[in-house]
Amino acid sequence: MRIATWNVNSITARLPRLLAWLESSGTDVLCLQEAKTTAEQFPSAELAELGYESAVHATGRWNGVAVVSRVGIADVVRGLPGDPGYDGVVEPRAISATCGPVRVWSVYVPNGREVEHPHYVYKLQWFEALRAAIAGDATGSRPFAVMGDFNVAPTDDDVWDPASFEDSTHVTPAERAALTSLREAGLSDVVPRPLKYDHPYTYWDYRQLCFPKNRGMRIDLVYGNTPFAKAVSDAYVDREERKGKGASDHAPVVVDLDV
């Protein structure tokens, strides 16, 4: 079984590439982030033509998450229980579903903007709500994973130049402590390092030739519980999908399971 996560940065803009990638990669379950559309405008029909069902949590031009599966979708939960919301709005940043033998969460963690910004406080509160929401599944006997754009680089090795991120979000001790707290709930990072590349980044800014210069970050993660981690037979970042015209600024992260 092949499971992947991908921040597509607008499913409308990325649809031709997404459909081609699903066909070529043989992915069974894909967690999507930054759909940037409404549930009504989500391309469920186009995905259905390839044999995929869709579960969507999206409300407009920002945020939006989904799970698409060709092995079934059941027990869908839209939204994060206990979501603190930001500025009075609960954003569509999390969705969970059971796909065949595996349960997954697709998450798009708040960016945080700046360390002194209220959005940073919101980000840390959101992580606390996520930890509470996944606690039961994390210690269960069913393979389970939280996948998506976490907007945190777990270590200094996961950014191209730690010095350039000094006093910035994505690398602060509090954000990394939030990731540690998730793992302590019963999860582990199932994508090993190094992979094919010495620095398997998953995100490269569109600006300043960041991708050609490999100035990236590893912020798209797959955290699985023990049954999930034991079933992993391979994992990789599909860096090739970041290349070319019309690419997202994130690459898919792919995990193969023996289940």
Give the pLDDT confidence of 203-245 residue by residue, as tens digits.
Answer: 999 999 999 999 999 999 999 999 999 999 999 999 999 999 9
CATH of residue 26's domain is: 3.60.10.10
Binding residues for Mg(2+): 7, 34, 149, 151, 249-250
Exactly one of 52, 57, 108, 137 is catalytic; which is it?
Answer: 108
Provide the mean pLDDT of the chain.
Answer: 95
Secondary structure letter of residue 90 according to DSSP: -
Q: What pLDDT is attached to residue 182?
A: 96
Our answer to whether residue 198 is catalytic in this structure is no
Our answer to whether residue 234 is catalytic in this structure is no
Among residues 8, 13, 112, the alpha carbon closest in space to that of 64 is found at 8
Structural domain total, the chain: 1
Exactly one of 28, 83, 137, 149 is catalytic; which is it?
Answer: 149
Reported confidence tier of residue 199, pLDDT bands at 50, 70, 90: low
Exactly one of 220, 238, 250, 256 is catalytic; which is it?
Answer: 250
Residue 194 has pLDDT above 80, yes or no: no
Binding residues: 7, 34, 149, 151, 249-250
Q: What pLDDT is attached to residue 167?
A: 86
Cα four-point dihedral sign 163, 193, 133, 4: positive
Specify whether the CB–CB gap between 16 and 22 falls below 8 A. Answer: no
* Domain range for 215: 2-257
Query: CA distances (Å), 126 to each of 38, 90, 93, 138, 238, in order?
Result: 22, 11, 10, 17, 28
Q: Among the residues of 62-117, which ranges form H helices?
A: none
Our answer to whether residue 149 is catalytic in this structure is yes
Q: What pLDDT is attached to residue 192?
A: 73
